[in-house]
Amino acid sequence: MTDTATPSAPRTTADEVSRGMTDLEQIKRLKSRYFRYVDTKQWDEFRSLFTDDAEVDTSEAIVDPHGFWDGGRLPVVTPDAMTTALKARMTGVFTCHHGHDPEITFHSEDRASGVWAMEDIVRRPAGSELASFHGWGYYHEEYRKVDGEWRFTRVRVARLHVKQIDHFPAKD
């Protein structure tokens, strides 16, 4: 009797699986911190999530079929510029960001990319000139492992839909 079994695919070692799961969890936690630091206005911590040469692209951050957005999109900017802009724009603003269903691809031991479904609420105080909104879309990201820690090297947010919502009511 001859062996008709086909050759098996190369096997992944337990260490490779463990390292991959650890790296995947680290990238998930990186994204979780990104959302938490924006929502809790921890700007120094937010900035620390990026490499110094990273790019942040918000050119597709707002889909505006209703004409309520001010057109204040930022072009592709550095993490320092993004942090400064967010700090200025988010004073007194309630935000809640959620990311889910990550699709992470590892390109090497220290490079990865990912796509995250997202939903956010940006609610401004009464009298604000900028719109409050509820948005849905995707983050497209690239990561690099630096000194054993995953960091963002590129972040692009692309909202597919934005719904205008009410500002916070004026305080009495």
As a whole number of angstroms, the distance between CA 57 and CA 76 comes to 4
pTM, 2 dp: 0.82
Q: How far from chain centre, in Å, is Cα 66? A: 25
pLDDT at 61: 77
Question: What confidence category does residue 69 fall into, taking pLDDT thresholds of 50, 70 and 90?
Answer: very low
Higher pLDDT residue, 112 or 67? 112
The vertex-58 CA angle with 134 and 68, nearest 5°, equals: 45
- Residue 112: Cβ within 10 Å count: 21
Q: Where do the H-state alpha helices sit in the chain? A: 14-39, 43-47, 79-89
pLDDT at 85: 87
* 75, two tokens: 């072009």
**Which of 80-84, 120-124, 166-170 comes out lowest in average pLDDT?**
166-170
Termini Cα distance of the chain: 89
As a whole number of angstroms, the distance between CA 8 and CA 1 comes to 20
Mean pLDDT, the chain, whole residue set: 85
Question: What confidence category does residue 39 fall into, taking pLDDT thresholds of 50, 70 and 90?
Answer: very high
As a whole number of angstroms, the distance between CA 131 and CA 122 comes to 8
* 47, two tokens: 């900035």
As a whole number of angstroms, the distance between CA 75 and CA 69 comes to 16
pLDDT digits (tens, 9 = 90+) for 102-155: 999 999 999 999 999 999 999 999 888 878 899 999 999 999 999 999 999 999
Question: Fold for domain 15-165?
Answer: Nuclear Transport Factor 2; Chain: A, (3.10.450)
CA distances from 106 to 17, 157, 159 (A): 12, 20, 25
Q: What residue segments make up the domains of the chain, in order of their start?
A: 15-165
pLDDT at 71: 47
